[in-house]
Structure 1
Amino acid sequence: MKLQKLDIDKRLVKRALMEDAARNDVTTLSAIPAGARASATLIAKEDMSLAGIEVFMAVFEALDPAARFTSRYEDGAKIKKGAAIINVRGRARAILSCERVALNFLQHMCGIATLTAKFVKAAKGSQTKILDTRKTTPGLRDLEKYSVLCGGGFNHRRDLKEMAVIKENHIAGAGGIAEAVRRVRKKLGTEGVIEVEARNIKEVKEALETGVERIMFDNMTPAQVKKGVALIDGKIETEASGNMNIGKIGAYAKTGVDFISVGAITHSAPSVDISLLFE
């Protein structure tokens, strides 16, 4: 899957540097001469999937527009422990003062990509695609969803406007699946995409009769999902969701479901271990 170029929000980078008081780094301003130059190399301390290299560079460029970078890797690459990922050359003060913020972005994004890749591997041999969710860090959604792509996963809707997903509380508030779908369809028209969350086979049958584009099997067992997939029989897209972990993916993928959505790949991904070392 070819990655689209990441559109970096420079305001996000600026806020992160301001939060860390990067322009008022008392240690660096005291210890390092103003005109000093330096070269530093980023080293992988574990195997990982790369995501966020452009963000990493943008942080240094915010304080040193003349900074230069040399890298053999692009986002989406599989990086081995010990690999030299990228070299940074520029003003020593800028490199030191930006280091932590640049690493924070990169370690978090690589962590998401790396965990996503593990889920994708667990579904290998099936046609099932791993999706992210909207369970993202406020303000970092675009970076986190991009990281999922770097790990070989796919994006579910970016926000509430992009796609209608009728969940349990919507159904309760509207008085049933059919009425909830009717109201949403009236609002969106025939061009809108609607997904309905179903908790059991009875609700799957109800949702299927409404003509929606996708049904989500919410917290249903693999056996129930398999039955639901057979019932739908390729008429519309199917998705399994609900407390998914690596150990469950294989069983759900074998049901023939089109998608498995996993909140954990964004909300619970551990940061990877990377070091930036002066030469």
Structure 2
Amino acid sequence: MNLSPLPTIMLEPLVRAALLEDLGRAGDLTTDAIVPKDLWATTVLSAREPGVVAGLDVATVAFRLIDQNVDVKVHRADGSKVAPGDVIASVSGPAQAMLTAERTALNFLCHLSGIATATASVVAAVRGHGAKIVCTRKTTPGLRAVEKHAVRAGGGSNHRFGLDDAILIKDNHIAIARGIRPAIERARVSVGHLVKIEVEVDTLAQLEEALALAADAILLDNMSVDELRQAVAMVDGRAITEASGRITAATAPTIASTGVDLISIGWLTHSAPILDIGLDYHVL
């Protein structure tokens, strides 16, 4: 997988805040009291269960923010599948720094690898269909960039990154605007030609109205499989179709078989379980 890493300047503020939260007002009392400053060690990051790796860049930043002398050698890059016992990376340098950064590095690495693993499971479930698996804005506050990167590591794609890169007209927008037509018309005169407009619909009647107004994409919210098939036929390639609403790896194949272009899943980022990854030390 050719997955470009996020720039370090994006990662440092997230990791710095996490380290400061852990260090508190007095630093690492345990490590500072027990581990000599001049002791160097090597560590091995290894998988304890099968999954997909994501977050190595973030973990690396955690170690190096504590001490620039820590060296991280990656053996299995983000997006790689791993089995129990597989070595993901080796870390060597001052033992104090590695012990102090260990929990923050693992918190990020396990969480993001969990997202990549969950995404990969759904991507595998719909293989053979044309639908892409995409995440949503249901992300951990402050971690959206790295969580969406983890979705890409798992073979998924990203929906909009925030409120500022596309228009998504949802049910409350429609209610306040008093209809799909005024909502789309107001949106269209307010943004430039490069901004896409997507409309959420939950009935075929709403879909027909959105299509008549040339929406770029249609979010088919909580529709049955039969309704999704009818919706895809009605759209007939005139807009991007997106299915959403309590979709799992078990239900995704049937939904993908309806012909929708996208399947959006919020739990990939807000509820995916971690991937268990350990860090073992060998004193030099």
TM-score (norm 1): 0.98
Work out whether 1:267 is the aligned partner of 2:273: no
Q: Displacement of 1:189 after TM fit?
A: 4.2
Tell me the amino acid that sits aligned with residue 15 of structure 1: A
Q: Is the 8 A contact 2:40 2:94 kept in 1?
A: yes
CA contact (8 A) 2:76 2:87 kept: no
Which secondary structure does the structure 2 equivalent of 1:153 belong to? Answer: coil
AA at the equivalent of 1:140: L
User: Which SS does the other structure have where 1:133 is aligned?
Assistant: coil
Alignment of 1:3-82 (within 5 A): 3-8=3-8, 9-21=11-23, 24-82=27-85
> Which region of structure 1 is more displaced relative to structure 2, 33-42 or 69-78?
69-78
Equivalences for 1:95-106 in 2 at 5 Å? 95-106=98-109
Distance 1:256 1:25, change over 3 A: same
Query: What's the offset of the Cα at 1:191?
Result: 3.1
Q: Does 1:170 align with 2:173?
A: yes
| Counterpart residue identity of residue 258, structure 2 | T
Deviation sequence 1:177-225 (CA, Å, 0-9, x none): 0110000001014432100001011111011000110011000011101
Matches within 5 A, 1:1-279: 2-8=2-8, 9-21=11-23, 24-279=27-282
Gaps of 5+ in 2: none
Contact 2:5 2:57 in 1 (8 A): no
Q: Residues 165 and 195 of structure 2 are in contact (CA less than 8 Å); yes or no, is this contact kept in structure 1?
A: no
Q: Say which SS state the counterpart of residue 162 (structure 1) adopts.
A: coil
Task: Give, as a single letter, the amino acid of the residue that structure 1 aligns with 2:22.
Answer: D
Judge which range, 222-231 or 183-192, deviates more.
Answer: 183-192
Q: In the aligned structure 1, how far is the partner of 2:46 from the partner of 2:2?
A: 25
Residue identity opposite 1:240 in structure 2? A
**Aligned-pair distance for 1:80?**
1.2
For 1:181 and 1:134, the matched residues in 2 are separated by 21
Q: 2 CA distance for matches of 1:197 and 1:53?
A: 36
* AA matched with 1:60: F
Secondary structure of the structure 1 residue equivalent to 2:241: strand
- AA aligned to 1:33 is P
How many Å separate the matches in 2 of 1:21 and 1:227? 56
Which letter does structure 2 place at the counterpart of 1:262?
I
Alpha-carbon distance between aligned partners in 2 of 1:190 and 1:85, rounded to the nearest angstrom: 44
Aligned Cα root-mean-square deviation (Å): 1.1
Which residue identity does 1:133 align to in structure 2?
A: T
Residue type of the partner of 1:170? H
* TM-score of the superposed pair, with normalisation by structure 2: 0.96
Q: Which runs of 4+ in 1 moved over 6 A?
A: none
The whole-number CA distance in structure 2 between the counterparts of 1:18 and 1:191 is: 40
Moved more, 241-250 or 108-117: 241-250
CA distance in 2, matches of 1:43, 1:187: 51
Matched residues, number: 279
Contact 2:59–2:108 (Cα < 8 Å) also in 1 = yes
Question: Partners of 2:145 and 2:237 in 1: how far apart?
Answer: 31
State how far apart, in whole Å, the 1-side matches of 2:206 and 2:2 are: 37
